[in-house]
Structure formats: C-alpha cells, structure tokens
Amino acid sequence: MPDPDCIFCKIVAGELPAELVDEDERTVAFMDISPATRGHALVVPRRHARDLLEIEPDELAATLLAAQRVARRAHERLRADGVNLINSCGRAAWQTVYHFHVHVIPRYAGDPLKLPWVPAPGDEQQIAAAAAELRSAAAPRPC
Ligand code: 5GP
Ligand code: ZN
C-alpha cells in the first residue's frame, strides 16, 4: 500500500522526478539526490515497507539482488574500485527516509569517505554477553 507522505513511493509511482538506473517487477533504483560519491544510487522495493525490520523476505531479497546489479554496473561502467551497500534502520542508525532502501555507494581508491567507527579490540566478556543475548530465545520486545 503506497504511503501518500512517502517520497520514495512518489518516485516509484512517477509522481516525483528521479534519475532511474534500474527497475524490475519489484524494485526501482535511482540516483541519490545528495551523492556521497559519483554514482551513489538507492534501491527500493516498489511496495512500501518502513525499514529492515518490517520488509517482507521476498521484497528484501529482490531489493538486494537489484543492489547487486547496480553495484556490478558501478564497477563496470563507472570503474568503481569497490562498493559499499548501506542500509540504515531507525533514527539511531541515521535513517531519514522511512521507505526501506539500500544505498549503493561506488568507492574509488583515495575517495574521502571514512569508516564511521574506529576499529579497536572490544572487551571479550561484553562481546560474549551480547552474543548470548542474541542467541537467547527471549520474549519479543514489545512495540
Ligand atoms: P537514509 O538517510 O534514510 O539512509 O537515506 C535517505 C537518502 O535519500 C539520503 O541519502 C538522501 O540524500 C536521499 N534523498 C532524500 N530525498 C530524496 C529525493 O527526493 N530524491 C532522491 N533521489 N533522493 C533523496
Ligand atoms: Zn514508501
């Protein structure tokens, strides 16, 4: 069901302009309006889903397959040296548009992008405790 306030639903419907680069039955890919690097694209499911936690598995699979197609094209046609796929789920994770999307960000040797964290060895006990919680069959978190 399209969300009447969702800009990506409007792009999918052709009601807002966008530079489309790929589309199939389930997905549309278009250029990001504020590109991080040359060729930065967004891949979205045609069907509205808020985020990674809500999207249906087959829609997610189709969107990731489309992201792979766009990544391959960035590699072949833009001569990208690498690609980052990024998904932000929730405000704390920087999501700003609440229609699931995958950023396909072509990377070029020496480009200015940086990892958003500084890798450093973590506390082994804390890592193990988090792992135990992830493995546990605890009751679902209330909404
Ligand atoms: P998020 O912050 O949710 O991970 O990503 C949203 C992305 O959508 C941002 O990179 C932003 O530049 C892009 N964006 C926001 N509004 C528009 C728009 O109207 N058209 C296009 N093509 N991209 C948009
Ligand atoms: Zn939408």
Index of the ligand 1 atom closest to the CA of residue 31: 22
Cα-to-chain-centroid distance, residue 133 = 26
Q: Has residue 139 got a pLDDT over 80?
A: no
31: enclosing H helix or E strand: strand 27-31
Index of the ligand 1 atom closest to the CA of residue 34: 12
> Quick check: CB of 93 below 6 Å from ligand 1?
no
Q: How far is the CA of 32 from the centre of ligand 1 (A)?
A: 6
* Residues whose CB falls within 8 Å of the CB of residue 96, separated by 6 or more in sequence, listed in order: 88
Cα-to-chain-centroid distance, residue 81 = 19
Q: How far is the CA of 28 from the centre of ligand 1 (A)?
A: 14
| Per-residue tokens: 18 | 């966008």
Best of 6, 96, 100 for a ligand 1 pocket test (most atoms within 8 Å of beta carbon): 96
Amino acid at site 95 = Q
pTM of the predicted structure, to 2 decimals: 0.95
| Per-residue tokens: 124 | 């082994």
Give strand pairing partners of 28. Answer: 23, 44
- Which pLDDT score is estimated for 48? 98
Q: How far is the CA of 135 from the centre of ligand 2 (A)?
A: 32
The string of pLDDT tens digits covering residues 88-137 is 999 999 999 999 999 999 999 999 999 999 999 999 999 999 999 999 98
Domains delineated in the chain:
7-135 (3.30.428.10)
The string of pLDDT tens digits covering residues 17-68 is 999 999 999 999 999 999 999 999 999 999 999 999 999 999 999 999 999 9
* Residues whose CB falls within 8 Å of the CB of residue 60, separated by 6 or more in sequence, listed in order: 45, 52, 100
